[in-house]
Structure 1
Amino acid sequence: MKFYKMMFSLTLTTSILITISSISWVTAWAGLEMNLLSILPMMKNFKNKFSSEATIKYFITQTIASTMMIFSILFFSNMKMFSFHSETPMMYLILSSLLLKMGAAPLHFWLPEVISGLSWNLTMTVLTIQKMAPMILTSYTTIANNLTMMTILTSATISGIIGMNQTCLRKIMTYSSINNIGWMLSALMMSNSLWLMYFLTYTLITLSITVPFNLNKMMFIPQLTKLSNNKMSLLIMMMNFLSLGGLPPFTGFMPKWITIYMLSTKAMFYLTITLILATLTTLFMYLRLMLPMAMMHMNKSMKLKTTTISKKMTTLNMISLLGMPFFMMTIQLF
Structure 2
Amino acid sequence: MTKSYKILFLSSTIMGTLIAISSYSWMSMWIGLEINLLSIIPLLSEQNNLYPSESALKYFITQALASAILLFSVILSLNISEYPQFPNTFSMMILNSALFTKMGAAPFHAWFPEVMEGLNWNNSIIMLTWQKIAPMALLMYNPQMTTLLTSVIIMSTIVSGILGINQISMRKIMAYSSINHIGWMISSTLNCQSIWLIYFTTYSIITLNIILILKSLNVFYLKQLFNSLNSNKPLKFFFILNFLSLGGLPPFLGFLPKWMTINNLVQNGFFTLSAFLIIFTLMTLFFYLRITFSTLMINTSETLIFQSNKNSFTVMFANMISLSGLVACTLLFSNL
Same-fold call, TM > 0.5? Answer: yes
Distance in 2 separating the partners of 1:15 and 1:224: 35
- When normalised by structure 1's length, the TM-score is 0.93
How far did 1:287 drift? Answer: 1.4
Paired residues, number: 329
- Aligned partners of 2:37 and 2:63 also within 8 Å: yes
Aligned-pair identity (%): 43
Alignment of 1:1-334 (within 5 A): 1-79=2-80, 88-225=89-226, 226-295=228-297, 296-298=299-301, 306-309=309-312, 311-328=313-330, 331=333
> C-alpha displacement at 1:74, in angstroms?
1.2
Cα deviation digits, residues 103-135 of structure 1 (max 9, x gap): 000100100000001111111111110000000
Amino acid at match of 2:173: I
| Residue identity opposite 1:248 in structure 2 | P
Secondary structure at 1:114 match in 2: helix
8 Å contact kept, 1:221–1:292: no
What are the Cα deviations for residues 30-79 of structure 1, in whole angstroms up to 9, with x where unaligned?
A: 00000000000011112332112111111110011000000111122224
Q: 1:2 to 1:266 in 2, by over 3 A?
A: same
Q: How far apart in 2 are the matches of 1:300 and 1:45? A: 38
Provide closer, same or farther for how the CA distance between residues 75 and 48 of structure 1 changes in structure 2, counting only shifts above 3 A. same
**Counterpart amino acid of residue 54 in structure 1:** S
User: Superposition RMSD on alpha carbons, in Å?
Assistant: 2.3
Counterpart-to-counterpart distance in 2, 1:304 and 1:245: 31
Counterpart amino acid of residue 297 in structure 1: T
Could you report, residue by residue, the CA deviation over 1:218-243 in whole angstroms, capped at 9, with x for unpaired residues? Answer: 01000112111222211111000000
| Distance (whole Å) between structure 1 residues aligned to residue 188 and residue 335 of structure 2 | 14
Q: Which runs of 5+ in 2 are unaligned?
A: none
Q: Shift of residue 328 of structure 1?
A: 2.7
The 1:304/1:51 distance shift into structure 2, 3 A limit, reads: farther
Distance 1:312 1:113, change over 3 A: same
CA contact (8 A) 2:213 2:235 kept: no
2:66 and 2:11 map into 1 onto residues whose CA distance is 24
* Contact persistence 2:152–2:183 (CA under 8 A): yes
Amino acid at match of 2:300: H
Alpha carbons 1:227, 1:293 under 8 Å: kept: yes
1:188 and 1:194 in contact (8 A); partners too: yes
**Residue type at the aligned position of 1:255:** P
1:193 CA displacement: 0.8
Q: How many angstroms does 1:304 deviate by?
A: 9.4
Q: Is the 8 A contact 2:169 2:222 kept in 1?
A: yes
The 1:59/1:332 distance shift into structure 2, 3 A limit, reads: farther
CA distance in 1, matches of 2:311, 2:283: 33
Deviation at 1:326, TM superposition (A): 3.4
- In 2, the alpha carbon distance for the partners of 1:24 and 1:143 equals 18
Instruction: Using the TM superposition, name which of 209-218 and 321-330 deviates more.
Output: 321-330
Distance in 2, matches of 1:234 and 1:10, equals 34
AA aligned opposite 2:325: G
- Structure 1 pair 325/205, CA: closer, same or farther in 2 (3 Å)? same
Task: Tell whether the 8 Å contact from 1:106 to 1:151 is kept in structure 2 after alignment.
Answer: yes
Counterparts in 2 of 1:282 and 1:304: CA distance versus 1, 3 Å: farther
CA distance in 2, matches of 1:188, 1:304: 48
**1:304/1:252 CA distance change after superposition, 3 Å:** farther
Q: Tell me, which stretches of 5 or more residues in structure 1 are unaligned?
A: none
What amino acid sits opposite 2:263 in the alignment? Y
Q: Which moved more, 1:316-325 or 1:33-42?
A: 316-325
**CA separation in 2, counterparts of 1:305 and 1:26?**
56
